[in-house]
Structure 1
Amino acid sequence: MHRRAVVVGALAVATAGCVDRLHDLAASTPRDLAVRSRYVDGNPLVDGQSVLDRPAEIVTHAASFRSSAAAMGALRPDAAETRAFVDATAFVDDGGEAVLLVAQRLTAPEVELRLGAISRTGDGSLRIAVDRTGVRGDVETDDPVVKTLLIRLTDEQGPPERVVVSIDGDRAGVTV
């Protein structure tokens, strides 16, 4: 019994904080939805696809992709980390079960994005909350930069029809 307590305690120390975050996300995600996300510092999308190509007052943007060809066509050639994430995605239109969502935010350089929660909002619709990390309180900057969160969704009910991404109170909707 003592040995088990020591092992559990050692694992808790070794994973310091990681376990809590996994439990938080798991508790806030429908069980029939598999999710993987990756934060990318910068803009992996080509001109015409990113938040930079929206009107100045729009600071949150979302895009969706159902095929590898469409996703790769929207990526900059030098976006190696994003391309690797896309390569690992089994897209719906390519015979797989996943769709890719790209959530972007214009914000201060020290901000990072993290997947917060996912919930169903109706038939075939999802709401994804993205958290800002790295800073506390309101963040304003005269020279905002692009922050990107890649989200791979596999839904046992089939791909969602519509997704609303919420980052710091701003929302962006996308039809999948």
Structure 2
Amino acid sequence: MYRRAVVAGTFAVATAGCVDRLHDVAASTPRDLGVRSRFIDGNPLVDGRSVLDRPEELVTHAASFRSVAAARGALTPDATESREFVERTDFVDDGGDAVLVIAQRLTAPEVKLRLGGISRTGDHSLRIAVDQSGVRGEVETDDPVVKTLLLRLSDERGPPERAIVVIGDGRAGITI
């Protein structure tokens, strides 16, 4: 019993910050889909690629990348944490098996994003639910800030072709 607790504690410490809600996500994600996520408090994307460059009424945005070069090109030079996450991704177009999805939301400063679950909506289509934590009830603010969730997806069926990212009442559809 003690040994199991030590192993579980070591695993929790080793994966801190790398895996978002490991047990909940594992229960709500297809078994043949590998997922890792990282919350970024801010906007790691360059001008023209982020939620800030969308019409004012669109508060949810998503982007996808199949190669390390494309992902690096979309990140600002000072986005260290995001760049580290990208460097640990084995992209499909570079001979690996993963794609990167970046989900963004304009919201209150207290909000954090975390992966809620992923479900299949077709043969190569996914629905990605992202939860907002840190506040209760409806989240409204006069001065919204950008919150970002990076998702590394590897699918045994091959890379997904489409995804719908849902954050609160906002949706963003992407072709991967």
What's 2:52 paired with?
52
Q: Which runs of 5+ in 1 are unaligned?
A: none
Query: SS of the residue aligned with 1:64?
Result: strand
Between 21-30 and 159-168, the greater mean CA deviation after superposition: 21-30
Separation in structure 2 between the aligned mates of residue 81 and residue 40 of structure 1, nearest angstrom: 8
1:78 aligns with 2:81: no
Deviation at 1:13, TM superposition (A): 8.5
What's 2:136 paired with?
136
Query: SS of the residue aligned with 2:48?
Result: coil
Separation in structure 2 between the aligned mates of residue 22 and residue 39 of structure 1, nearest angstrom: 14
- For the aligned residue pairs, the C-alpha RMSD in angstroms reads 1.8
Give the 3 Å change call, closer, same or farther, for CA 47–13 of structure 1 in structure 2: closer
Separation in structure 1 between the aligned mates of residue 30 and residue 156 of structure 2, nearest angstrom: 10
Q: In the alignment, residue 62 of structure 2 is paired with which amino acid?
A: A
What's 2:119 paired with?
119
Q: In the alignment, residue 130 of structure 1 is paired with which amino acid?
A: V
Separation in structure 2 between the aligned mates of residue 107 and residue 54 of structure 1, nearest angstrom: 14
Separation in structure 1 between the aligned mates of residue 68 and residue 3 of structure 2, nearest angstrom: 43
Taking structure 1 as the reference length, what is the TM-score of the superposition? 0.90
Query: SS of the residue aligned with 1:38?
Result: strand
Q: In the alignment, residue 76 of structure 1 is paired with which amino acid?
A: T
Alignment of 1:1-176 (within 5 A): 4=1, 21-176=21-176
Separation in structure 1 between the aligned mates of residue 174 and residue 158 of structure 2, nearest angstrom: 16
Give the 3 Å change call, closer, same or farther, for CA 156–48 of structure 1 in structure 2: same
Deviation at 1:169, TM superposition (A): 2.2
Deviation at 1:123, TM superposition (A): 1.6
Question: Across the two proteins, how many residue pairs are aligned to each other?
Answer: 168
Give the 3 Å change call, closer, same or farther, for CA 12–151 of structure 1 in structure 2: closer
1:63-98 Cα deviation digits (max 9, x unpaired)? 000001110000000000000000111100011110
Deviation at 1:24, TM superposition (A): 1.5
Q: In the alignment, residue 138 of structure 2 is paired with which amino acid?
A: D
Give the 3 Å change call, closer, same or farther, for CA 11–125 of structure 1 in structure 2: same
Separation in structure 1 between the aligned mates of residue 149 and residue 137 of structure 2, nearest angstrom: 21
Query: SS of the residue aligned with 1:150?
Result: strand
Taking structure 2 as the reference length, what is the TM-score of the superposition? 0.90
Query: SS of the residue aligned with 2:56?
Result: coil
Query: SS of the residue aligned with 2:78?
Result: coil
Between 49-58 and 131-140, the greater mean CA deviation after superposition: 131-140
Query: SS of the residue aligned with 1:159?
Result: coil
Q: Which runs of 5+ in 2 are unaligned?
A: none
Separation in structure 2 between the aligned mates of residue 13 and residue 153 of structure 1, nearest angstrom: 25
Query: SS of the residue aligned with 2:85?
Result: helix
Q: In the alignment, residue 30 of structure 1 is paired with which amino acid?
A: P
